[in-house]
Structure 1
Amino acid sequence: MSTGLRPLTGVFQTPDGSVYANATLSWFRQPRKTLSQGGAVIIDQPVLLQTDPAGVISGSLYPGLYLVLVRLCDADRHVEVAIPEGDGAFNVADGVGGAAPPLTPELVALARQYRDQALAAQGAAHDSAQAASGSAGAAHDSAQVALQAAGDAGDAVALSASAGASAAAPYAAAAQSSANAASATLLTLGDALLNDLGAFSVDENGDLVVSFAGNTIETIDINAEGDLLMTYEVS
């Protein structure tokens, strides 16, 4: 199959059957860009082809999709013409009216380029999804570890508090016993003072002298310095 220029033929007529004679048709390559084809660099340059007095077009173009400008008496019109690859002259009428673009080398290259880009995008999307899934799993594992650590810390605090309370309990009980014993001793001493109280007197030095009738405490003396002096007699 040829990839070079292809000769064109075909008759152009008006709706009443008259030939479209001696007219100029402007051919624009689609898409409008410079490309490589047939071993040459094809620039984005419109091509002007003429019809003869019988309305027959002549000329040669590279296979591809073209937009053809036709100048009419009231306005300009555009028509798409697809020229396929092949040998021999191609009738323009066969490439008009919704014809699919021919599979020219440039279209095949573009299709491969777009396919490769789509495959690359698919691979990148898959990798991103895998990375996101791994990050989500790692975050879940970290949350579980944090929850377990918090639970262990709470248990340790509770155990420490319980152990401290158990260790302090004997000391608290001992303190309570000491307080009870001191209270009982004071009560006993008070009772003894009241029971043995005998008489009060003030001596020549102005000191208060208290006499007790019992044989446990004999006297209580308050001297000039305010000191309390107690004399005990043991029977």
Structure 2
Amino acid sequence: MNTPRSTGDLLEVEGLTCRFAGVTAVDDLSFRVKAGEIKAVIGPNGAGKSTLFNMIAGVTRPTDGAIKFDGARVDRLPTHARARRGIARTFQNLQIFREMSVLENVMVGRHLRGRATTLSALLHIPSVGAEERAMEATAMALLERFGLAAKAGLPAGSLAFGQMKVLELARALASEPRLLLLDEPAAGLPHAEADKMAETIRDLNRDGMTVLLVEHNMRMVMSLSHDILVLNNGRRIAEGTAEEVRCHPEVLSAYLGEEAVDA
């Protein structure tokens, strides 16, 4: 899948704040994601990373601030409208339809690009069938790419955990996103599978995909990221390249420690 490259900033977050019952989860946060880059967001549990992702995707409404995608504000748009504009995500806790087939799971992501209405489907209009076959072909191509084609007809719940991670990624890609939000894609994966996931993300980026990545695997973060944003208590404490963040005293002592030195 080749994703058209834009120039400049694809995502702009300006003064983003989110409060829950008086608790500030994200506090006056501003940053940008350039088109074609992999930007990582790191920090300890409770730093505000998941809340940030939820605000960008449209699950959580900001208390204050703005989110711009490709120059236009999207922070007032519902989740499906942002997805149509080209924002897709995976989840820290897998959101797989376990009773549906592997193929059907990917087709769910593809339906976002469909034009058929419920009425046209009920009336069996020929174009609906053609569209469904095209969606199936696209979904199968993604399964082929990620080595899951042989399992297309199996229930998604029968897959191994690592395969479910890949399936969720394939479903996100089926919507043809321009920005991919990856929430801990390596969580729970053994070393070899985490490395394979990192290479998959690198390949997607080489094809033009812009990625915003939340991840605790510092080996993956340091090897993949063009830019890294470090959060603590909802605030930015550092931002820069892997080398710049690696050498930041507060980041090194608080989050990376010896792992950063050895990575």
TM-score, structure 2 normalization: 0.19
The TM-score, its normalising length taken from structure 1, stands at: 0.20
Higher relative contact order, structure no. (Cα contacts within 8 Å, ≥ 6 residues apart):
2
Structure whose alpha-carbon radius of gyration is higher = 1
